[in-house]
Amino acid sequence: MISVEAVGKTIEKAIENALLELKAPREDVDIKILSEGGIFKKAKVLVSISEEAMPKYEKHKKFVEEEKITEEKENKKIEKQIEKQEKKEEKAQEKNEKKQEKESEQQEKDNNKTEYKEKLNKSCEPEEFLKELFNILKKDVEITSIADEKYVTYMVNGENLGDIIGHRGEGYYALNTLLKQITSLKDKKILLDIGSFREKRVESLTQTAKRLANKVAKTGRFIKLDPMNPSDRRIIHTALQDDNRVTTLSKGSEPNRQVIIFPKHEDD
């Protein structure tokens, strides 16, 4: 049974309130007066859908419930779509932020590269650069130079230069590369020697190259040396360029590029 209790100043007002709540016309209901009210008391009624009208209202109630369920499903579907869209927009925003961050980093790299190139273009004299550098490093050194047809060698001599040369010459090679990049000579290449390191290195590698060349010529089998920097590889190649028994070749990619010493055959 579908029924509602309602109150009002009068019985009619109480009935009217009940009908509004039930959303039903008067002919579809049964009315029971619970209290007629008075001066200090409101009227109270119980209004129920009559048995004759009940099927219509039950059908309507079922329809309303089904509509409510459908509406709830539709709302959930919409909520999921909104949630999906929000996640999609969030991912897009995150992707865009990462893209902007990447572009910003690339722009910074490009700016640094441009600045670096501008500095390179403003090349200075090698000796001037070396004097300023060792002054900054607080090293008391003497700088002299020797030139031949192809090279100008700048020799730096002084005390306690081991920390500048570094382990296995790492500091020396880095400084040598830097010197070539930020200084310039029109007709000749630049070489650097610190504390006779290059001179000793040339002597040591030349002896090694000749010893290995003798071994290759004797056994007829090639020998692959450990990876070397370009400067050391050049010393090996130069040391053996006039040896008619062997030939040299560099293979691999930096920093693992190696010199290979091959035996020369009679028909080469």
- Residue type for 108, please? E
Q: Of 195, 223, 241, which marks where a domain is finished?
A: 195
CA geometry: angle at 192 spanning 230 and 156, to 5°?
150
Q: Of 172, 195, 218, which marks where a domain is finished?
A: 195
Structure tokens at 64: 């309303």
210, part of any domain: yes
Task: Please report, for the domain that includes residue 204, its CATH number.
Answer: 3.30.1370.50
Domain co-membership, 181 together with 206: no
Domain co-membership, 175 together with 204: no
236, part of any domain: yes
CA geometry: angle at 54 spanning 53 and 56, to 5°?
75
Domain co-membership, 214 together with 186: no
Cis peptide before 55 (omega within 30 of 0): no
Helix axis angle, 197-219 to 230-240, nearest 10°: 50
Rounded mean pLDDT of the chain? 86
Task: Please report, for the domain that includes residue 18, its CATH number.
Answer: 3.30.30
pLDDT in tens, 186-229: 677 888 889 888 888 899 999 999 999 999 999 999 999 999 88
DSSP per position, 80-127: HHHHHHHHHHHHHHHHHHHHHHHHHHHHHHHHHHHHHHHHHHS-B-HH
Q: Residue 253 CA to chain centroid, in angstroms? A: 25
Domain co-membership, 188 together with 205: no
34, part of any domain: yes
Nearest to 208 by CA among 237, 244, 166: 237
Q: Of 141, 163, 195, which marks where a domain is finished?
A: 195
Instruction: Over range 49-67, report the average pLDDT.
Output: 79
Domain co-membership, 133 together with 191: yes
Domain co-membership, 204 together with 229: yes
111, part of any domain: no
Into how many domains does the chain fold? 3
pLDDT exceeds cutoff 70 at 181: yes
152, part of any domain: yes
Structure tokens at 173: 């090679």
- Residue type for 99, please? K
146, part of any domain: yes
pTM for the full predicted model = 0.48
66, part of any domain: no
pLDDT in tens, 87-129: 888 898 889 988 988 888 888 888 776 665 565 555 578 888 8
**Structural domain harbouring 258:** 199-263
Domain co-membership, 222 together with 182: no
Q: Where are the beta strands (DSSP E) in the chain?
A: 3-8, 29-35, 43-49, 141-147, 151-158, 189-194, 223-224, 246-251, 258-263
Domain co-membership, 204 together with 191: no
13, part of any domain: yes
> Which class for 46: exposed (0-12), middle (13-18), buried (19 or more C-beta within 10 A)?
middle
Domain co-membership, 131 together with 191: yes
Pair type for strands 223-224 and 258-263: antiparallel
> Which class for 166: exposed (0-12), middle (13-18), buried (19 or more C-beta within 10 A)?
middle
Domain co-membership, 190 together with 207: no
Domain co-membership, 218 together with 259: yes
pLDDT in tens, 5-36: 999 989 999 999 989 988 889 898 899 999 88
